[in-house]
Amino acid sequence: MGEENKRFTTPEALQQGIADVHLSEVRSLLSLQKRVEELVAPLVREQGTPNLDEASVEIQHQYRKELRQKLKLMPAREVAYIIEALDSNERLVVWDEVKEGADPILALLPDEVLEELIDDSHYRNEKTSITAFELRDGRLRQIAVTSPDDLKGVSPIWVDLIAPTKKIRGWIGSMYDVEIPDPGGLTDLEASARFYVEDDGEVHLHSDFLLDTREESRNVPVALILHNEVLFTVRSEELPVFRLQRARARTRPGYVTDGKDVLLDLYAADVEYSANALEDVYAGLEKVGTQVLRSRISDSEAAEILAAIAEAEDLNGRTRRSVLDTRRALSFLLRGKVLSDLQHNDVREILRDIESLDGHTAFLFNKINFLMDATDSAININQNKDIKRLTILSVVFMPINVLAGMGGMSEFSMMTQGIPWPIAYSGFVAAMVAVGGLTYAGLRFFSNRKTRSRSHGGAL
């Protein structure tokens, strides 16, 4: 009995005990779910009762829901322990419930379990895509890759990977003797470590490419690796620049000749895409400028204008960041002496295009600031008009308030003694209305007089 209590005296032993309890609960739920399926399936086949089958599905759904809730409350370490302890079929059921956002769990699992979970037949990120491009008759031939066998006998000049899993990065890396980075960790790199050359001549570049959609605009990090004249590109999602590059290279003979050409054309396409984004900013600001320069702008319209200006400023800033990053990458390639003379000329042409975009982004920043100031001024004018109305009302009612105070005093009762109170107070109210009207008329008179004097002065 003493030995049994001693097992749970340390925190590690206590955590292990809790994990074993949770493992037992998970196994129990999986066993019950499997038992329901084994009992009901033969009856459905024999009797052909659809209601019985629906009841079975509902029961299994309840068990899965309870399993999902239990797993959600467990830390990643316990879930990894449970997945490792289960057999293959049960392991896949649990994995199906936790695979959304499962990176912390995957990091704790041994390699043999990872091989089983992320095998293409069981788990594949819906964004995952591997495409190889081989040069045939001056054109790029696109090859969809789902397994290492698809690359046998292929001599690609470009291998494009979108959201590759750890297993995919492993066999691509071993096949071409190159280390493929995790696209999720590209943003963690320091600026000084984004462009470098390995001792074996392998060139690494980590650049931000612009993604501009109707919903949002953002910069997507992309890893570009030149190794043995093959370009490897790794990113977390599809980008318009890469689609454009693939279409051009497939349809234009002689468009690219090696992986370096593909690399430079990707940067050139990014500059072109950034220029198109700036044109969208121009168009948006033209529409906003037409609204701002109108004679009257309501507060609701001003709010919409400010939102449009903020969106334009965000897109302009991200475009400038993308262009700046492209310039740094191209300058690194020029200094690295890895390009041919013809490719050096291509780089200089791209850099000249970037210089022309710098002036546009600076002009757009100035225009954005002007429109922002103009919109703020319109909002202030509307507020001043509201304050003016309140001021007029307070001035009109000021003498009325004085008279109302006098009417409530005992002296007024003494002054109207002998006069019926309805007549006395009716006359008093009429006097207050008359005083208010005279005050308002006086304010209008002086305001119109001031306006006429200004107009005469301007005419002179």
Which tokens hold the place of 30? 């999986």
pLDDT digits (tens, 9 = 90+) for 73-101: 888 888 888 888 888 778 778 877 887 76
pLDDT of residue 350: 92
Give the DSSP letter of residue 349.
H
Residue 153 burial by Cβ neighbours in a 10 Å radius (0-12, 13-18, 19+): exposed
Residue 434: enclosing H or E segment and its boundaries? helix 421-459
Determine how β-strand 203-212 pairs with β-strand 195-197. antiparallel
pLDDT band at 163 (very low <50, low <70, confident <90, very high): confident
Read off the pTM.
Answer: 0.62
pLDDT of residue 294: 73
pLDDT digits (tens, 9 = 90+) for 384-396: 777 777 776 676 6
Question: What is the maximum alpha-carbon separation in the chain?
Answer: 121
CA nearest neighbour of 156 among 137, 134, 177: 134
pLDDT digits (tens, 9 = 90+) for 19-36: 788 888 888 888 877 776
pLDDT digits (tens, 9 = 90+) for 112-132: 777 667 654 444 455 788 899
Lowest mean pLDDT among 35-49, 88-102, 158-172, 368-382: 35-49
3-state SS assignment for residue 408: coil
pLDDT over 90 at 232, yes or no: yes
CA nearest neighbour of 120 among 80, 163, 165: 165
Give the DSSP letter of residue 179.
P
